[in-house]
Chains A and B, each alone.
Chain A
Amino acid sequence: MFNVVLAELRKLRRPTLFLGTMGSALFFTGLITSFVYLMIDSPQGNGDRGRTISREVLGLASGSVNGFASVGGFLGIIALCVFAAQTAQEYTYGTLRNLLIRQPGRMKILIGKLVSMMLFAIVMITVAAVVSIGISFLLAPGANVSTELWFTSDGVDAIFTTFINVTISVIAFGIVGMVLGLLLRSPISAISFGVLWLLIVENLLIAVKSSLQSWLPGAQLSAIATGGAIDISYKHALGVGGIYVGVGALVASILFVRRDVAN
């Protein structure tokens, strides 16, 4: 399986994909983190869905990662696109047959692909975390936000916890993308279905019936990144999100292992 990971990393490190993805991640990280500080006094709010994150909250030990946690959902959508495209392209290019001839263990291919894309996602998350905390530190004085507690031991704990939560969330979004790639076998279909569902369909459903927020997959995975949301506890999000990801991964794995490769 180690060979599969090495082979997959060769594909993931190509400049157009690697730099393009990192560029998108940095753009959203910079934009959203900057909003938190630049719009701190805005009546429209400075957080997700018009939420206000006050100076007092930002001045807490966990203040350095508020922006980073807010970016988690966007990083998740980027991961979903990358995982879906990298998986489904094997069908559209016809390269899956090459992979299976060189490594007939289909679960090894699947797990190797997942591990390599997880490594890719962790690099993206790490870069985003560093940039987000850096921007926060630079913009905090201008927004009259105290950074005194940010790098105390509690602050470092908060950075570590948020990093773990965002990583779990982003990788879970990625697995959803991979499942869609395996099921739909087309990058365009997998990405458009995933993004439309997460950004539009879920929001429409929640607008119609707010209680659905506790049960829809995208809402759970986003809540994991922020360590829980107002209406969704962290544990609930982790449990329900885990079930969605687990069942999807199981179904897709069974199909991948059993399905004929006829293209």
Chain B
Amino acid sequence: MSNTAISVSDLSKKYDDRLAVSHINFEVPVGTVCGFVGPNGSGKTTTMRMLLGLITPTTGMGHILGEPIEHPEKYLSRVGAMIEGPAFYPALSGHENLMVLAKLGGFPVERVQELLNKVGLGDRGKSKYKTYSLGMKQRLGIAAALLPNPMLLMLDEPTNGLDPEGIQEVRALLRDLANEGTTVFVSSHLLSELEIISDYIVMLRKGEIVFAGPIGDLMAQQQPTIIAKSLQHSDLEKIVAIAEKAGHHAVVRDNSVHILAAMDWAPVLNKAAFDAGITLAQLAPQLPNLEETFFEMTGD
């Protein structure tokens, strides 16, 4: 069996004159957690839909669990997915909704209650879906995705609407699944969460791949950042000017200046700011996290 769970080559999707996804290439190894990140409208959901056989690619090819995406019937019985949020029948209970999908996929019906318990809906399974909170709907969506005991789990924003405890539970669940050999392909805007659980990252921007590979490689590519804050907001632009004069890229973000520079340049900046009459309130060298890297690479 192939050791890549997902492999995509030159995959594109064009709507009218707009390329929603443009000639993307990436691979996701079996048994890893792969974070799929990108700004809204970058093509994440379109890519997932193509991988699930819901929409036809304009160009390119892809393989899921070694099978071509032109034949979703060959791999979907081993794939669990929730894309673009949970979607169920409002007049049916959570239990009934899962029973519909269990019957449809030919899965053992005993799994339904097991999964409801697993996602914390064991005592609300008989309630109608329309009475569920957003977090409960999300949990039901995750339960539905787990019905086939999947080898590959594809989740689109699974933590939307969850409280911090729920987010932590989902994170632990995904990590456990990966440890048991399930490949997890998950998109989320909670980049700090992805950074904790992901082994791989695929980053999209305007339909194009910005990065695809091990998260360690992504971080290693990034330069360390110095974050500087001043007492006067008006001094931020002056700090940017000092940094750029010294040849370092700098931007103002969240009332602080983010400067791409090694840690040993921090004392130099401190002195230059003092000489310019600027009182620094904070000067903190730090290695970039996924969020910083995301902003840096996607330009958002």
Q: Interface of A with B (CB < 8 Å)?
A: 3-4, 6-7, 10-11, 14, 16-17, 89, 93-95, 97-105, 260-262
Q: Determine whether B99 belongs to the interface, using a CB cutoff of 8 Å to chain A.
A: yes
Contact among B52, B54, B81, B89 with A93 in the assembled complex (CB-CB below 8 Å): B89
**Which DSSP category, helix, strand, loop or mixed, fits chain A's interface?**
helix
**B91 engages A14 (CB within 8 Å):** yes
CB-contacts of B80-123 with A (<8 A): 81, 83-85, 87-92, 96, 99-101, 103-106
Contacts of A98 in B (CB 8 A): 87-88, 101, 144
Please state if A104 and B87 are interface contacts (CB–CB under 8 Å): no
Chain B residues, CB < 8 A from A99: 104
Complex interface: chain B residues within 8 A of A11 (CB): 89, 92, 100
State the Cβ distance, B60 to closest chain A Cβ, in Å. 16
A102 touches B76 (CB 8 A): yes
Given the complex of chains A and B, what is the CA–CA distance between A101 and B84 in angstroms?
13
Partner of A10, one of B54, B90, B96: B96
Interface residues of B in 13-54 (CB under 8 A from A): 49, 52-54
Interface pair B88/A93, CB less than 8 Å apart = yes
Q: Does A4 contact B89, Cβ atoms closer than 8 Å?
A: no
B135 CB within 8 Å of chain A: no
Count of A-B contacts judged by CB separation below 8 Å:
77
| CB–CB A101/B76 < 8 A | yes
**Closest Cβ–Cβ distance, residue A105 to chain B (whole Å):** 6
Distance in angstroms from B16 CB to nearest chain A CB is 13
- B291 touches A (CB below 8 Å): no
The contact of B104 among A7, A17, A94, by CB within 8 Å, is A7
Partner of B84, one of A10, A94, A103: A94
- Asked if B56 is at the interface of the complex by the 8 Å CB criterion, the answer is yes
- Chain B, range 242-288, C-beta contacts under 8 Å to A: none
A3 near B100: Cβ-Cβ < 8 Å: no
Given A3-B106, A260-B54; A102-B91 close (CB under 8 Å):
no
B50: nearest residue on chain A (CB-CB)?
A260
The reply to whether A262 and B55 contact each other, CB–CB distance below 8 Å, is yes
Chain A neighbourhood of B96, CB < 8 A: 10, 14
- On chain A, the residues within 8 Å of B87 by CB distance are 93-95, 97-98
Tell me if B81 and A101 are in contact (CB < 8 A). Answer: yes
B73 proximal to A (CB < 8 A) = yes
Count the B residues whose beta carbon is within 8 Å of the partner chain — how many?
31
In order of increasing CB-CB distance, the 9 nearest A-B pairs are: A94-B87, A260-B55, A7-B104, A104-B72, A102-B105, A7-B103, A261-B54, A102-B104, A6-B103
A156 to B55, CA, bound (A): 52
The residue of chain A having its C-beta at the shortest distance from the C-beta of B46 within the complex is A262
| Interchain CB contact under 8 A, A104 and B73 | yes
Once the chains are docked, how many angstroms separate the CA of A11 from the CA of B55? 26
Q: Given the known inter-chain contacts A95-B87, A101-B76, please indicate yes or no for A7 contacting B100, CB distance below 8 A.
A: yes
Nearest Cβ distance between residue B98 and chain A, in whole angstroms? 10
Measured in the bound complex, the distance between the Cα atoms of B84 and A84 in whole Å is 25
- Rounded to whole angstroms, the CA-CA distance of A105 and B56 in the bound complex is 14
* A116, chain B: closest CB distance, angstroms: 11
Contact partner of A104 (CB less than 8 A), chosen from B53, B85, B88, is B53
Which residues of chain A have C-beta atoms less than 8 A from B147's C-beta?
Answer: 102
Task: List chain A residues, Cβ under 8 A from B100.
Answer: 7, 10-11
Measured between beta carbons, the chain B residues less than 8 angstroms from A10 are 92, 96, 99-100, 103
Q: Give the complex CA separation of A98 and B147 in angstroms.
A: 12
**Is B5 interfacial (CB 8 A cutoff)?**
no
- With an 8 A cutoff between CB atoms, is B202 at the interface? no
Q: Are the C-beta atoms of A14 and B92 separated by less than 8 Å?
A: yes
Q: Kindly report which residue of chain A lies nearest to residue B93, judged by CB atoms.
A: A14
B204 within 8 A of A: no
A97: contacting residue among B54, B90, B103, CB under 8 A: B54
| B 63-76 to A, binary, CB cutoff 8 A, 1 in contact else 0 | 00000000011001
Residues of B within 8 A of A3 (CB): 103-106
User: What residues of A have a CB within 8 angstroms of the CB of B55 in the complex?
Assistant: 260-262
If A93-B87, A94-B84, A102-B76 are given as contacts, then 16 extra A-B residue pairs at C-beta distance below 8 Å, sorted by A number, are: A7-B100, A7-B103, A10-B99, A10-B103, A11-B89, A93-B88, A94-B87, A95-B87, A95-B88, A97-B49, A101-B52, A101-B54, A104-B76, A260-B54, A260-B55, A261-B54
B79 lies within 8 A of chain A by Cβ: yes
Quote the shortest CB–CB distance from B256 to chain A (angstroms): 41
B101 touches A102 (CB 8 A): yes
Residues of B within 8 A of A94 (CB): 84-85, 87
Q: Please name the residue on chain A nearest to B145 by beta carbon.
A: A101
Which residues on A sit within 8 Å (CB–CB) of B89?
A: 11, 89, 93, 95
